[in-house]
Every structure is written in structure tokens, then in C-alpha cells.
């Protein structure tokens, strides 16, 4: 009995996968490259190899690295759609922080951070809308909902619904992840809420 060891070449493999299936494989390979070798290490050739297709198949769909990465991030970033409503601002903020932590340390999260930290200004311009619309605006929207509910319940001071307050959690989480290599375990998140956010939000007593 003869056992075949034939392996499909990238070009032959791409023939078996067309349309959305092939595009998904390419986008997944781009995210994998970003999360492992970073923005500067990502190449169209490497993405093609990871997707087991030919380089031409990548360039036909995405003429530049920036175009490919923009679509990969849009397809891969987790969706933060619903604000938690657990009856108290502390638990709501903790739940949001846990979701943000899980997103940050997912494969798309590592990919996004590679883009943010390694792109030059011209490259970042192409990806600006993806980051703002895919990450920043949804996060601020959920924080606004949680803090506004807290104001309505009397837990939060009335002037707390402002941009500086909304930026505090994402800014601190990104700063510590980047410069302090913090992985944001549950205790870290509780301290962030209890030592920073709750004193910041608490109504002043007359």
C-alpha cells in the first residue's frame, strides 16, 4: 500500500477556497501576524503564507498593507454593544472593565495595540476611523450609559458625564498594559474602580 504525502501548494489551496471563505482566511492570517510579529513585521507575503494562498490573491483584494489591516481589524474586533445594568455603578464599571480587558488581550486586541504603537502618522491616518469607530466611540458610549444611570440613581456627581472621566479607564488600562506590562487581573480592575473611579465619581457631600 502506498501512502500519499502530496501537499497542496498555496496556489492550489486557494483554488479550493474562493470568495468569503478565502477572504476570511486572509483576514485571520493578517490578525495572527499582527498579534505575533507586530505592524512592522507584517508582510503581505507572510499573510499569504499564513492563509495558504498566493500573494496575488491578497493584492487583488487589498492593494496595500494599510487597507488589509483596516479590514482585518474591522472584521476581528470584538463588539461592545450592551452596557451592563447590575443596579450599581461599581459593578457596572467592573463588568465593563472585564470586557475591555478580555478584548485587549484577545488576538484582535494584540493586533490593535501593535497598530497603535508602531504605525507612523501617515499610516495611522488610514486606520484612524477604524480605531475611533470600532473601539473608542463604542467604549465611550457604554461608559456614558453607565455613568448617566449612576447620576440618575444619585450615586455619581451630576457633572461627571464628561470626556475626561470617560477617558480615565481606557487611558489607564492602555498605559499600564504598555508601560508596566500589566495583564489587568480581577484584583487590578477592582483597585482601578475603587481607588480611582469611585472617588472621582462620588458626589460631594454638603
Q: What is the reported pLDDT for 5? A: 43
Cβ atoms of residues 112 and 72 within 8 Å: no
Say whether both 88 and 125 belong to one domain. Answer: yes
For 160-194, write each residue's pLDDT tens digit. 999 999 999 999 998 898 888 888 999 999 999 99
What are the cell numbers at 100? 475591555
Say whether both 93 and 64 belong to one domain. Answer: no
Candidates 107, 129, 127; CA nearest to 118 is 127
Between 7-11, 85-89, 97-101, 147-151, the lowest mean confidence (pLDDT) is in: 7-11
Q: Does position 121 have pLDDT exceeding 50, yes or no?
A: yes
d(CA 54, CA 25): 12
Average pLDDT, the chain: 87
Distances (CA, A) of 67 to 41, 133, 172, 202: 16, 16, 29, 44
d(CA 151, CA 160): 8
Model confidence, pTM: 0.78
Backbone phi, psi, residue 64, to 5°: -140, 160
Say whether both 153 and 112 belong to one domain. Answer: yes
Say whether both 104 and 153 belong to one domain. Answer: yes
In the predicted model, what is the mean pLDDT of residues 115-131? 81
Question: Which one has a higher pLDDT value, 134 or 98?
Answer: 98
Q: Does position 8 have pLDDT exceeding 60, yes or no?
A: no
Say whether both 65 and 164 belong to one domain. Answer: no
Between 18-22, 65-69, 142-146, 187-191, the lowest mean confidence (pLDDT) is in: 18-22
Number of domains in the chain: 2
Q: What is the reported pLDDT for 7? A: 45
d(CA 25, CA 147): 40
- The boundaries of the domain holding residue 56 are 10-75
Q: What is the reported pLDDT for 49? A: 95
Say whether both 29 and 86 belong to one domain. Answer: no
Say whether both 163 and 100 belong to one domain. Answer: yes
Amino acid at each position: 500500500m502506498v501512502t500519499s504525502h502530496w501537499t497542496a501548494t498555496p496556489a492550489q489551496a486557494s483554488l479550493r477556497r474562493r470568495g468569503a471563505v478565502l477572504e476570511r482566511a486572509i483576514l485571520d492570517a493578517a490578525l495572527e501576524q499582527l498579534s505575533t510579529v507586530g505592524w512592522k513585521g507584517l508582510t503581505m507575503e507572510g499573510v499569504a503564507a499564513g492563509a495558504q494562498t498566493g500573494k496575488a490573491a491578497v493584492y487583488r483584494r487589498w492593494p496595500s498593507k494599510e487597507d488589509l489591516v483596516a479590514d482585518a481589524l474591522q472584521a476581528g474586533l470584538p463588539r461592545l454593544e450592551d452596557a451592563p445594568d447590575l443596579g450599581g455603578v461599581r459593578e457596572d464599571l467592573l463588568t465593563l472593565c472585564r470586557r475591555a480587558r478580555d478584548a485587549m488581550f484577545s488576538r484582535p486586541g494584540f493586533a490593535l495595540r501593535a497598530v497603535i504603537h508602531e504605525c507612523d502618522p501617515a499610516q495611522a491616518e488610514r486606520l484612524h476611523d477604524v480605531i475611533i469607530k470600532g473601539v473608542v466611540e463604542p467604549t465611550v458610549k457604554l461608559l456614558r450609559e453607565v455613568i448617566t444611570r449612576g447620576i440618575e440613581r444619585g450615586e455619581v456627581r451630576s457633572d461627571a458625564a464628561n470626556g475626561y472621566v470617560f477617558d480615565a479607564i481606557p487611558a489607564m488600562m492602555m498605559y499600564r498594559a504598555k508601560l508596566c506590562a500589566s495583564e489587568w487581573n480581577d484584583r487590578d480592575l477592582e483597585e482601578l474602580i475603587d481607588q480611582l473611579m469611585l472617588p472621582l465619581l462620588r458626589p460631594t457631600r454638603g
